[in-house]
Chain A
Amino acid sequence: MKTCVNPAGPAAGEPSGTPGRRFRRGRTRRAERTAAPEPERTPAPDTRAARRARRRRPRPFGLRTRLVLAFLLVAAVGCGTTAALTYRAARNAILEQTQNTAVSAFRQQVDDLNLALPPDPDSLRDALMRIARQGKPRPWRVYAEYGSLRVSSTDRPTSSVITPELRDRAHARTATPQAGFQRVVKGRVPYLTIAVPAVFRTDAVAGAGQPTGLVVYAVMELGEEEANIEALVTAARDGALPALAVALVPALIAARGVLRPVRELRHAAHSMGRGRLDTRIHAKGSDELADLARTFNESAAELERSVTELRRAEARARRFASDVSHELRTPLAGMLAVTEVLDEDAGALDSDTARAVRLISAETVKLAVLVEDLMEISRFDARAAELHTDQVDVADCVRRTLAGRRWTDPAQVVPLLAEGVRADLDPRRFDVVVANLVGNALRHGAAPVTVRVRAEGDTLVTEVSDRGPGIHPDVLPHVFDRFFKADPARARSAGSGLGLAITEENVRLHGGTVEAANGPEGGAVFTVRIPL
């Protein structure tokens, strides 16, 4: 470890931005000019990882999912509608054909009946069994009713499948008796029930014959038809599933076609955000996404142009300030040498002349300080300031700073330094920070100024507090501004107006923060936090 080097500082109570660098010229100046105005900032590795994670994370309702779902939905609706309509038409056709066949065949069979009234049960049963055998498309079960007489082709005289509605309709005595049928589902088995009221012919010219009071029913299971219809459903389903699978392909292709330009656009926007203003997208095609890409390219070009212009103007302004300081430094050096000589000889001059000479000498020194501070600030602005860190003992460092400025009177400056705190610091810049803060406190606050140094966790905290009136809350946010004067009436002060700005830049170069506040017992408190 190195001990804290105390550079040759300026006179006590004269905080300065660039101790030990006064009036050096040439090399630094060129270095400042050639320094890159805006070094490429690479994003922190953690944000890049986060972005990659975000890209890889599957999105439950991203564009791709939505497109695929929409395609599948359309395909499903299309397939479903087609299948449903086809199914309905086919089912109705199957049922209609069966029903028509059965009804007309049944009517024909009943037409052939020859019976007495009231019918003889035995012969009627024979007739019914004959009809049942000849049922179309399949054998029926046939039931007959006349009065309270019940005869059937089976071993049960009546059927539980026949509904009262059908019976009522068949027994109704309308002008023209009508045959009727009904589909009944009983115990999950579908039946077709047909009821025909038998009439007999009279010689009446009009009318459809006189009712005999006999009603004949036929009952047929529709199991075969149901099987056919089930087959239709199966066919519809088997057709729809491959259609859905096929619909996935255009869905994915469409999603890719949309997502690729979007992804390119996102990458380009990212890259622009990271400062690569020359990023452009390959825009092809004539769709809306290509239009978007072209607009992006135009905007990027425009942005690049104006940013370049701004940078150029900024660089010009910076270089001007730097050049002015440099140009002023040479005559000032001469003037300083002369005023020192004049100062020494002032005692021999008459009193008015001596006062004038001393005033010129003091102002020249101030001017030199101002120029040095300006150069330091422009170095920060040009990002040409470099940090040369060393492991140093902080307490030692602060003591040297105070001693170097001759702030050794305990009535003026009280050092409360934690011993043994070591930190990676640029000793020269830390010296500037402490000297500027203490000098500022002595100049604007009131003695005694307390300097505290301690380590809080992995942070080095340096605190400079005074016993002055403190800083007005309105002024607090601006104390680090350049040439900021807390009291506008006090146009002239001992400082250059850049001391706190330089302090802040130096702390920031260390990766730390400096803040101004008012202490609980009054007086301003400046706290510098630098990571150890």
Chain B
Amino acid sequence: MTRRAARLALCAAGLLALAGCGIRGSDVVEAGGAPTVVVAPFPESRLLLYFLGPDGRLMPVSRDVGRIGVPVPTRSGPGGDPDAATGETVPFDGFGQGYEIDAGHPYAAGIAPAKALAALFAGPRPPERAAGLTTALPPDGLRAAQVRTDGPDGLLIRVGFPVRSLPPGAVGQLVCTMAFSADRSGTARVTVTGTDGSLPASSCEV
């Protein structure tokens, strides 16, 4: 009798569960890749800086540098192979063969990283600060800072303060800002050298 009662109870419980359950909560479910937004302004006229968000994560900031319509070359050799760059001339971005410019052209190298470095050390602007962005770099770090784009392993940055004790966020700010200033893919490797020696070369890992 007890067993039958137990079976009946089980049955009733099942029916109740069936009747009672509607939509239940779930765990977080992965639902495919992230959407790609268009970041204004256009890549040709923006300066991409990395500051730190309120939670310490690297946050990109795009600033308009007013160069709409001026093509910025990417480092790519003939046939579009970046590793086959020979150095003398580089094609204009988007225009390809016949639109190469001199490797020493201001747009090709040098200027943008130096500007970006200056902007980075200047820190977030008021609207950016309003969005909770901060910098972990020393405010007067720009003094004695140098950028060389022709290092043996990508970019070389020399700063006038110790770098080994820098927090990872600050190093990330430097590396990412420099990598994205060197070219738009942000894949360049960056070596940071301070008064106490060099950090190993790294690429931007946001």
Residues of chain A touching chain B, judged by Cβ–Cβ distance below 8 Å, are 61, 69, 73, 76-77, 80, 83-84, 87, 91, 95, 99, 103-104, 107-108, 110-111, 113-118, 120, 146-149, 163, 165-166, 169, 171, 173, 176-185, 190, 194, 196-205, 208-214, 222, 225-226, 229-230, 233, 236-237
Give the chain A neighbours of B15 by CB distance below 8 A: 76, 80
Once the chains are docked, how many angstroms separate the CA of A199 from the CA of B22? 36
Give the chain A neighbours of B4 by CB distance below 8 A: 69
The reply to whether the CB of B74 lies closer than 8 angstroms to some CB of chain A is: yes
Closest Cβ–Cβ distance, residue A309 to chain B (whole Å): 48
- Structural contact, B37 and A147, CB atoms closer than 8 A: no
Additional 15 contacts, C-beta under 8 A, given A179-B30, A179-B33: A107-B35, A110-B35, A114-B37, A118-B128, A118-B131, A165-B28, A178-B33, A181-B31, A190-B22, A198-B36, A209-B34, A211-B34, A211-B60, A225-B23, A233-B18
> Using a CB-CB cutoff of 8 Å, which residues 8-38 of chain B contact chain A?
8, 11, 14-15, 18-19, 22-38
Once the chains are docked, how many angstroms separate the CA of A187 from the CA of B189? 52
Known: A147-B132, A147-B133, A182-B27. A83 touches B18 (CB 8 A): yes
- Structural contact, A173 and B37, CB atoms closer than 8 A: no
Closest Cβ–Cβ distance, residue A175 to chain B (whole Å): 9
**Of B84-92, B146-154, B180-188, B192-200, which binds chain A?**
B180-188
- Structural contact, B61 and A118, CB atoms closer than 8 A: yes
Closest 7 CB pairs of A and B: A148-B132, A147-B132, A118-B131, A190-B23, A203-B185, A177-B34, A213-B59
- Structural contact, B185 and A196, CB atoms closer than 8 A: no
Give the chain B neighbours of A178 by CB distance below 8 A: 30-34
Give the chain B neighbours of A146 by CB distance below 8 A: 59, 131
Please tell me which one of the listed residues B38, B57, B58, B184 contacts residue A202 in the complex, with CB atoms under 8 A apart. Answer: B184
Once the chains are docked, how many angstroms separate the CA of A215 from the CA of B41? 19
- Structural contact, B184 and A203, CB atoms closer than 8 A: yes
Closest Cβ–Cβ distance, residue B12 to chain A (whole Å): 9
The reply to whether the CB of B39 lies closer than 8 angstroms to some CB of chain A is: yes
Once the chains are docked, how many angstroms separate the CA of A204 from the CA of B186? 7
Closest Cβ–Cβ distance, residue B52 to chain A (whole Å): 9
- Structural contact, A226 and B36, CB atoms closer than 8 A: no
Give the chain A neighbours of B59 by CB distance below 8 A: 117-118, 146-147, 213
Please tell me which one of the listed residues A165, A196, A214, A222 contacts residue B23 in the complex, with CB atoms under 8 A apart. Answer: A222
- Structural contact, B131 and A114, CB atoms closer than 8 A: no
Give the chain A neighbours of B185 by CB distance below 8 A: 202-205
